[in-house]
Amino acid sequence: MSNLGIKKGDKVVIIGGGFAGLQLARTLIKADLKVILVDKQNHHQFQPLFYQIASGRLEPSSISFPFRKIFQKSKTVDFRMADITQILPAEKKIMTAYDRTITYDHLIIATGCRTNFFGNKELSENCFSMKTTQESIDIRNKILFSFEKEIFARPEEKQAWMNIVIVGGGPTGVELSGAFAELKKNVLPKDYHNIDFSKFNIILCEGSKNTLNNMSEESRAASRKYLEDMSVIVKTETILVSYDGNEAVLNTGERIPTKNVIWAAGVTGNIINGLAEENTIRNRYIVDRLNRIKGVDNIYALGDVAYMETPLYPKGHPQVANVAINQAKNLGLNILKSLKDENYEAVHYEYHDLGMMATIGKHKAVVELPFIKLKGVIAWYIWMFLHLMLILSVRNKIVIFFNWAWSYLTKDTSLRLITYIDYKKEKVINS
């Protein structure tokens, strides 16, 4: 038996096919184990490019990768499409939404994050979030539909359709704001000749003093300047207090009529019922440096849902993709080596920050690597290259590169389909 307690032939169940879960499954693909990957979606989603789906720059299939396609040649990794509702650690099984069970010898939880509305039910019911491919499509549908509605709207209602409020000035909020600003300048006026797009307002609200608050002062200042140069209205030290679907109320007292509020202001760990409260802290599982959950046997947590204290990060790691991927790599390699040598001493995990980056628009980006900080054109090309390299398949790399090249040369995109609208909620005005 290895020091991780995993033996050849054991059944390892991974819940979640995000960056951590997928990386671990791919690392274990040749291990003498029975690996089952479970996710409520049937595909891996490349979250850093969700904003490009929402702004009509990429098709959803470009950044979505079916799990069964990824593992179609594997005899050790299998996939189950299921929504897990509860863990029963004493019985070594998990329950699905349809009262089906999946047993395990070892369980790895890699369920990532969900949108955090900080307990505000009104905001959760009326704001858009952007944590899945479908939510990104919903945003694209609603934003494009807003201009169709504006044409028919009464004069006093028109501005509400022309205001987009984005809450949260981190990378997601900044990138989404920049993408909509480029649509406003280069694309939408060509499509809607009878709409005055000088009245189309993109309003970015951030609770702290700066956009990209986790980056350096130079990057913060550059991101704000880029946004304001693109006519994005940036409101820092500003919090959305309430939103009823028609009017956004800010902590400053300002009231903004709007039909579109996108929430990018926070995330919380996506924990599952079944483990004791003492196993968690702030909606994250407390793990040791081998990613084993405190107080239980044979259960691990990876990525955003794991809280690990280390010498470099005594208050836990940031909830970013690099942490998730590298925790999965470390656990996977520990498992592989311990299967070959039961006396193998597992390597403890420590995160080494590889940097941060964000793109705001064409030739406008900020990149902070361990050895250099860049902004502008070079940073923009670095951002594009690194994200393209992270895409899983060669086919998708080519498709994305072609779309980016076409958009670069023409300042246009043809991906402006309104694929679905709930007409019970959005009644079309009859002519």
Helix (H) / strand (E) containing 300: strand 299-301
* 139 shares a domain with 41: no
Which pLDDT score, from 0 to 100, does residue 423 have? 44
* 155 shares a domain with 103: no
Domain boundary among 229, 250, 265: 265
* 259 shares a domain with 127: yes
Q: Could you say which DSSP state residue 106 is in?
A: E
pLDDT in tens, 53-63: 999 999 999 99
**Domain range holding 200?**
122-265
Rounded to 10 degrees, the C-alpha dihedral 250/256/259/260 comes to: -50
The total number of structural domains that make up the chain: 2
* 257 shares a domain with 127: yes
Task: Identify the burial level of 364 via C-beta atoms within 10 angstroms of its C-beta, where 0-12 means exposed, 13-18 middle and 19 or more buried.
Answer: buried
Look at residue 28 and tell me if it is in a domain. yes
> In 3-state terms, what secondary structure has residue 405?
helix
Q: How far is CA 381 from the centre of its chain?
A: 22
Which pLDDT score, from 0 to 100, does residue 414 have? 66
Q: Which residues of the chain, if any, have pLDDT below 50?
A: 1-2, 423-425, 427-431
Q: Is 57:139 a contact under the CB 8 Å cutoff?
A: no
Q: CA 199 → CA 111, 146, 164, 229, 253, distances in Å?
A: 41, 13, 11, 16, 22
What amino acid is encoded at 358 in this protein?
A
* 261 shares a domain with 223: yes
* 211 shares a domain with 163: yes
pTM, two decimals, is: 0.92
Helix (H) / strand (E) containing 159: helix 158-161
Concatenated DSSP letters for 91-114? Answer: TTEEEETTS-EEE-SEEEE---EE
Which pLDDT score, from 0 to 100, does residue 422 have? 58
